Amino acid sequence: MTQSVTLPGLLFDQSAKRGDQVALREKEFGIWQSITWSEYANRVRWFALGMRVMGLKRGDRIAIIGDNRPEWVIAELAAQTLGVLPMGVYQDAVSSEVEYVLAKSEARLVVAEDQEQIDKVLSIRHTLPRLESIVYYEPKGLGSYPDSGLVGFPEVEQKGREEDRMNPEVFDEAVGRIRAQDTALLCATSGTTSKPKLAMLSHENLLSMATQLQSVDPMDPGDNFVSFLPLAWVGEQMVTMSCALMVGFTVNFPEGPATVRQDLREIGPQVMFSPPRIWENLVSDVQVMIEDTSRLKRHVFDWAMRVGQMAADIRFEGKRASATFKVKRKIAEWVSLLPIKDQLGLRHIRNGYTGGGALGPDVFRFFHALGVNLKQIYGQTEVAGISVLHRNDDIRFHTVGVPLPQMKIRVEDTGEILAKGPSVFHGYYKDPKATNETLTDGWLHSGDAGYIDEHGHLVVIDRLKDVMLLSDGTTFSPQFLENKLKFSPYVSEAVVFGGHEPFVSGIVAIDFENTGQWAEKNEIAYTTYTDLSQKSSVYELIRSHVSVVNRAVPPAARIHRFLLLHKELHADDAELTRTRKVRRRFIATRFQDLVHALYGDSDSVTVNLEITYQDGRNASVEHQLRIETILEDDQIARVVN
């Protein structure tokens, strides 16, 4: 019956092999609840048959929106067994974004977690004539809702149980029709430069990537993985679905976003895959903790980190550490490094991965000093997640590694990175124009700029359209400078400008929590984010970090003027993608007055904020944003000339 070259096929193979072992684990009310492989397979079977009873058929589309829960993966696999195309929607997407992807996919059914997600769908339902049903799995708050089209998840499963009793052969026949080349998933692209597109990923695409990753970094059935990043993101799909079904390890779902850190510590995963923002946040947390501790503990931490950095350098250079140094490293681990790893939930990590954007070398160095085997991956939604990866014995901070065994990478004369291999997608759903622009003779045009260094490693510079030409004629990656700025625990986001301008400038959004703690510690009173960001002392704090960054980059790339933004950059305002990538060109347009002021003569710029009160009244508030100028010796000479 099973087709082990498909995701549902692997599920039923694992069920036959590991029936009573734990496949999924979810924390509810502080207690971990387990689902065995047999239970997992049965629930997929029943939910699939339940959807069939509701009229879903091969080729239809469903959307799933909510936090990471067992019901999400059950619904996704159930859809695949019927030949129905599942599509994930980011749980924090606003109604307009939900409307766009539901209309684009022409979904007939939505699986929504709770009242919040159902409210989003109901608010736009009148614009979606093809949407027939909404299935929910958290009934709290829904008692008074009209039941037209709303169905509980258990009710669908019950429909499937009854269908299974009457027609048990129906499910087996459906699974038998699945082929490796069939589309398994519609996965939305990040939408950095345009509206998200829906990439069609086949079972073969997804499992080819998992097979290649397993050949490089083997995972074990006894491993644990904590699934806390959006399942609408291909990076989370890669491990929670493809790798877990192939290998048979346990996937753990935290109780909620606020408990992720504690849940990570309890589970102690061996594998962790996160975008740069998560790793950057962990560094910021450690930096703030160290600042709040005693002078003695700070001294011990600084010493231990120096030892850790030396150990990492020895490893990367392929040298052997002396017996004396090994003892020193053990002492550093015992007194400082292991306790920090334990606090972060990383004590048992065998392989940590970062992808979805560039991670600064300072962050890389920090984790390797701690003893976390963090590796950069490079890929896109269109290659099912990964095409290039660091190897354990060959990690270089400025690169993203070498291609996976079955992937080919080349760089065009234009500097664009192209990829080819079995994990390259089939195309974009109902968008042949975009497909033809992206795929040429099987080669995927990534839209990223880069080069292959003398060691055969791929170096990614930035998005091809974002690479800047500086005043001295050199090319420059704004992302590189932004990552160095974000190494500060007091910087949440940074966007730099400088193409075709006489110097580089930047807009910085402070980290409200960390900067607020710093202000309270230094007895600096503040009220709002805007108020805190414009404090002279906060400008001095950020200025000192900008000066440190400036000393680490070539003169032409140094930041000459910057301002602290009056608000956080947010995905709800379209300034970030749902995967937290900066939409640089949108920001340049949205804040064009600020950018123009950075290249003007004034030391401040006025912004107007539109505020909507709870009673519906609107008001306009005016703020003066200070512009800071940094004139270091070499910059002074360049500006004068």
Q: What is the pLDDT of residues 227-236, one digit of tens each?
A: 999 999 999 9
**Can you tell me the mean pLDDT for 600-629?**
82
Where does the pLDDT of residue 308 fall: very low under 50, low under 70, confident under 90, or very high at 90 and above? very high
Rg (CA), the chain: 26
User: Are the C-beta atoms of residues 355 and 385 closer than 8 Å to each other?
Assistant: yes
**Amino acid at position 2, single letter:** T
Lowest mean pLDDT among 28-42, 92-106, 180-194, 537-551: 180-194
Please, which contacts does 97-103 make with residues 24 or more away whose CB atoms are closer than 8 Å?
Answer: 97/578, 98/65, 98/124, 99/124, 99/127, 99/128, 100/195, 100/196, 101/63, 101/188, 101/196, 101/198, 102/63, 102/128, 102/131, 103/127, 103/128
What is the C-alpha to C-alpha distance for residues 301 and 369, in angstroms, rounded to an integer? 11
- Residue whose pair of structure tokens reads 């334990």 in the numeric block: 342
**Can you tell me the mean pLDDT for 330-352?**
94
The per-residue pLDDT for 288 is 87
Where does the pLDDT of residue 472 fall: very low under 50, low under 70, confident under 90, or very high at 90 and above? confident
| Residue 84 in this model has a pLDDT that exceeds 70 | yes
Q: Name the DSSP class of 572.
A: G
The per-residue pLDDT for 110 is 97
Q: What percent of the chain has pLDDT over 90?
A: 73
Lowest mean pLDDT among 90-94, 130-134, 364-368, 475-479: 475-479
Note the pLDDT tens digit of each residue in 29-53: 889 999 999 999 999 999 999 999 9
Return the C-alpha torsion angle 176, 177, 182, 187, nearest 10: -70
What is the C-alpha to C-alpha distance for residues 149 and 547, in angstroms, rounded to an integer? 59
Task: Give the three-state DSSP class for 397.
Answer: coil
Query: Going from the N-terminus, what domains does the chain have, and what CATH number goes with each?
Result: 7-259 (3.40.50.12780), 273-347+349-464 (3.40.50.12780), 467-640 (3.30.300.30)
Query: Which residue, among 500, 477, 488, 512, has the nearest Cα to 584 in the 3D structure?
Result: 477
Q: Name the DSSP class of 67.
A: S
Which of 62-76, 285-299, 352-366, 618-632 has the largest mean confidence? 62-76
Where does the pLDDT of residue 613 fall: very low under 50, low under 70, confident under 90, or very high at 90 and above? low
Report residue 368 as tokens: 């390797």
Report residue 609 as tokens: 């904020």
Composition of the chain by helix, strand, coil, percent to 5? 45, 25, 35
Cα 120 to chain centroid, rounded:
23
The per-residue pLDDT for 499 is 79
What is the C-alpha to C-alpha distance for residues 336 and 29, in angstroms, rounded to an integer? 33
Q: Name the DSSP class of 190.
A: -
At residue 624's C-alpha, the angle toward residues 621 and 625, to 5°, is: 120
Task: Give the three-state DSSP class for 609.
Answer: strand
Note if the pTM is more than 0.85: yes
**Can you tell me the mean pLDDT for 243-262?**
94
**Amino acid at position 95, single letter:** S
**Can you tell me the mean pLDDT for 343-370?**
89
Query: Which residue, among 539, 505, 545, has the nearest Cα to 519 in the 3D structure?
Result: 539
Report residue 508 as tokens: 């910085």
| Residue 98 in this model has a pLDDT that exceeds 80 | yes
The per-residue pLDDT for 638 is 44
| Residue 640 in this model has a pLDDT that exceeds 50 | no
Q: Is 588 exposed, middle or buried (0-12, 13-18, 19+ CB in 10 A)?
A: middle
Query: Which residue, among 135, 39, 5, 23, has the nearest Cα to 79 in the 3D structure?
Result: 135
More confident residue, 261 or 159: 159
The per-residue pLDDT for 552 is 85
Which residues share a beta bridge with 576?
Answer: 582
Report residue 616 as tokens: 């519906």
Note the pLDDT tens digit of each residue in 62-75: 999 999 999 999 99
The per-residue pLDDT for 33 is 96
Q: Please, which residues have CB within 8 angstroms of residue 235's CB and are 6 or more apart in sequence?
A: 229, 273, 274, 275, 355, 356, 385
**Can you tell me the mean pLDDT for 324-341?**
94
The per-residue pLDDT for 194 is 65
What spatial distance separates the first Cα and last Cα of the chain, rounded to whole Å? 76
The per-residue pLDDT for 635 is 46
What is the C-alpha to C-alpha distance for residues 85 and 103, in angstroms, rounded to an integer? 14
Note the pLDDT tens digit of each residue in 270-301: 999 998 888 988 998 898 889 888 999 999 99
What is the C-alpha to C-alpha distance for residues 513 and 508, in angstroms, rounded to an integer? 15
What is the C-alpha to C-alpha distance for residues 517 and 147, in angstroms, rounded to an integer? 47
**Can you tell me the mean pLDDT for 304-327?**
91
**Amino acid at position 505, single letter:** S
**Amino acid at position 516, single letter:** G
